[in-house]
Each structure stands twice: as structure tokens, then as C-alpha cells.
Amino acid sequence: MKALKLSTLLLLILAVFIFYYYGEESIKGGQKYGLSIGDDKSKVYNNLGKFFSEIKSSGDKVFILVKVSESASKLLVTDKGFDVFIEPYFHKNSGEEFKKSDRWVFYLNASSMDIVELRFDNEKLTEIYRNRRFVELP
């Protein structure tokens, strides 16, 4: 009987943990994580520090995926066009290349199991999307 109670308790704890951790969230109006829908790319870019401080846990790192260029391929010892994770520093007066994209994807701890995506249309933030999973499904 004790084993059954313990097993039930462990399953309940696991279910609560998975329910809390797993989630897909899409914000298309209002504000969340220090960003407001409708903000322009420059304002969003300048607020990324606050944004990340609200979505990540202590010790987490934020990465972006970049394609290796011809010149970087020798330095990184990989093929041109290969995707690699880098940990960016979002300096206030930089990021012009970054701002050219309408889809900014961030990977917490270089994992596809915790992704945050900022989507833009006409240079304005239209959606904050987050997908995090406890386990990778086939």
C-alpha cells in the first residue's frame, strides 16, 4: 500500500512539473515580458535585456542560430552554410543586420526545447511566441 501511495505521489508531482514546464504561448495583443505588441524593431531590440531577464532563469543563456560564412568556416572548422549557435551581446547601438529580419528566434541554453520567437510585420512587433518542452518527441 505504501508503494502505491508513493508511486501515485511521484506521478502527481511529475504531472504537475510537466504541466508547469511544457507550454506553447502566443501573445498577439497587449504586453508581456517587458515588450509591447506594436513596438518598432529598434524599441524591441533596445529592450531585449529586460525581455530576457524576464523569460530566462538564473544561469540560463540565450543563443541565436547563424549560418557560417565562407570567411568564418576556416576559423570555426566547419562547412560554409552550416548552422551554429552563438551567444549574442545585444549592444544598444548595434544590431542593424539583426533588425533586417521579421522573425527573431532565440534558443534558451542552445536547445530546441525552449524557444522564444518575436515576429514582426511592417517593422512592428506582432507576436511574442514561446514553445518549451520537457522532453523531445520524435
* pLDDT at 138 exceeding the cut of 60: no
- For residues 110-130, average pLDDT: 90
- Taking all residues of the chain, what is their mean pLDDT, rounded to a whole number? 84
| pLDDT tens-digit readout, 69-88 | 888 888 878 888 888 888 88
**pTM exceeds cut of 0.95:** no
In percent, the amount of the chain with pLDDT more than 90 equals 23
Q: Is the dihedral of CA 28, 32, 33, 34 positive or negative?
A: positive
* pLDDT at 45 exceeding the cut of 70: yes
Residue 78's pLDDT is: 82
Q: Sheet harboring 114-121: ordered strands across?
A: 23-27, 124-132, 114-121, 103-108, 62-67, 83-86
